[in-house]
Structure 1
């Protein structure tokens, strides 16, 4: 009787793991998370907060997640080619580089992660004038490797990443409105 119960539990567990692996393999090969906020500041002020990695350091939600995070700026901190390397046991290790900068309209960054696993993600900030202020849309997208797909099968990552983007937009709002 006891052996039969263990066998059934083993079969159920194996079937569940197999189903999860199959579902993960069927997921999209890319991910996309997007959040927006209205900021009561002109696009000029908001753009300066985003296009300058030294200023971004103060409102970036990932900087606030780990007090032990260490960072190093590249030779340029503003505009096209500006870069910032970061190392954290709690967040990630990698480098961000501004790869697109359209004054008052858009800033695009390439995030090259080394840890917890190697990946490259694109994050973009789009600014639109909005009723005397600025609407900022922050997107994050990139390839979804099998580990990412497996995590997305077990947990919905959009709310997890989206929570960070919302926090960052809230911080950006405070930084821009008090600029």
Structure 2
């Protein structure tokens, strides 16, 4: 019994040490990006990446809840156009609006998360020619609070999974 209590005590101390190190050492600035090369011209890929309605055809975050409600403001393809989503506890609630458009090259958006936590982020989808195809780079930037710094390794793992899934979905759509 004493051995078990010592092991539990050591685990708790290690978790606390990790938490303190994470809060002090990890930057509050968070950047994640992932790329894929799609065997299609930029103009075709742009139909899915240069507007919010096209984006929601391959975005894995909105696919996590079959009953998600998405409401668009505007057509989704002009500066200032946005959409609001409300889903289950896995998807939460928030808004995404277009802040920059460079046709066939870049769509930048601002994300405002309402639930399960309040926060803001910036996202970019950048297209560049690569051989006969198109390289798509999907990026997100935000600030981490102390709790999010502690969870950063899990966030990186989740972002890798979700961005990978989304870019795979996009590749399948654009290569049809």
Aligned partners of 1:74 and 1:84 also within 8 Å = yes
CA distance in 1, matches of 2:127, 2:135: 6
CA distance in 1, matches of 2:4, 2:173: 58
- CA-to-partner distance for each residue in 1:129-163, whole Å, 9 max, x for gaps? 111111111111110111211212xx442221111
Matches within 5 A, 1:78-97: 78-89=77-88, 90-97=90-97
Aligned partners of 2:48 and 2:57 also within 8 Å = no
Say how many residue pairs are matched: 174
The 1:97–1:15 alpha-carbon spacing in structure 2 relative to 1, beyond 3 Å, is same
Q: Which runs of 5+ in 1 are unaligned?
A: none
Equivalent position of 2:23 in the other structure: 25
Pick from 152, 159, 170 the counterpart of residue 172 of structure 1. 170
Which ranges of 4 or more aligned residues in structure 1 deviate by more than 4 Å?
4-11
Equivalent position of 1:159 in the other structure: 157
Give the Å deviation of 1:94: 0.2
Give the Å deviation of 1:15: 2.6
Secondary structure of the 2:113 match is strand
Give the Å deviation of 1:6: 8.4
Equivalent position of 1:48 in the other structure: 47
Secondary structure of the 2:83 match is strand
Give the Å deviation of 1:75: 2.5
| RMSD of aligned alpha carbons | 1.9
CA distance in 1, matches of 2:50, 2:118: 25
Aligned partners of 1:94 and 1:114 also within 8 Å = yes
Equivalent position of 1:114 in the other structure: 114
TM-score (norm 2): 0.89
- CA-to-partner distance for each residue in 1:22-78, whole Å, 9 max, x for gaps? 112121111111111111111111112112211222111112211121110012311
- Rg larger in structure: 1
